[in-house]
Amino acid sequence: MDGRLSNKWRVTVNESKFVESALQSELRVDGRGLYDYRKLTIKFGKEYGSSEVQLGQTHVMAFVTAQLVQPYKDRPNEGSFSIFTEFSPMADPSFEPVHPGESAVELGRIIDRALRESRVVDTESLCVFAGKLVWNLVDAANIAALAALLTFRRPDCTVGGENSQEVIIHPPEEREPLPLIIHHLPIAFTFGFFNKGSILVMDPTVVEEAVMSGRMTVTVNANGDICAIQKPGEEGVNQSVILHCLRLASSRAAATTKIIREAVEAYNRERSSQKVIRHHTLAKSEVLGPIEVV
Q: Which of 284, 290, 293, 294 binds other proteins (CB under 8 A)?
A: 284
Q: Is 131 in the site for other proteins (CB under 8 A)?
A: yes
Stretch that binds other proteins, among 93-101, 157-165, 213-221, 247-255 (CB under 8 A): 93-101
Stretch that binds other proteins, among 21-29, 89-97, 115-123, 187-195 (CB under 8 A): 89-97
Between 108 and 131, whose beta carbon lies closer to other proteins? 131
Buried b (16+ CB within 10 A) or exposed e, 267-280: beeeeeeeeeeeee
Q: Which residues pair with 202 in a beta bridge?
A: 191
What value does the CA radius of gyration of the chain take, rounded to a whole number of Å? Answer: 22
Q: Which residues pair with 128 in a beta bridge?
A: 62, 85
Q: Is 129 in the site for other proteins (CB under 8 A)?
A: yes
Between 80 and 230, whose beta carbon lies closer to other proteins? 80
Q: Is 89 in the site for other proteins (CB under 8 A)?
A: yes
* Sign (positive or negative) of CA dihedral 16, 18, 54, 228: positive
Q: Is 204 in the site for other proteins (CB under 8 A)?
A: no
Q: What is the C-alpha separation between 125 and 66, in angstroms, rounded?
A: 6
Which H or E run includes 146? helix 137-151
**Binding-site size, other proteins (CB under 8 A):** 32
Give the chain's end-to-end CA distance (angstroms, integer).
56
Q: Is 132 in the site for other proteins (CB under 8 A)?
A: yes
* Sign (positive or negative) of CA dihedral 69, 72, 73, 79: negative
- Binders in 43-82 for other proteins, by CB under 8 A: 45-47, 50, 57, 59, 61, 63, 65
Q: Which residues bind other proteins (CB under 8 A)?
A: 1-3, 6-7, 45-47, 50, 57, 59, 61, 63, 65, 86, 88-93, 97-98, 127, 129, 131-133, 280, 282, 284-285
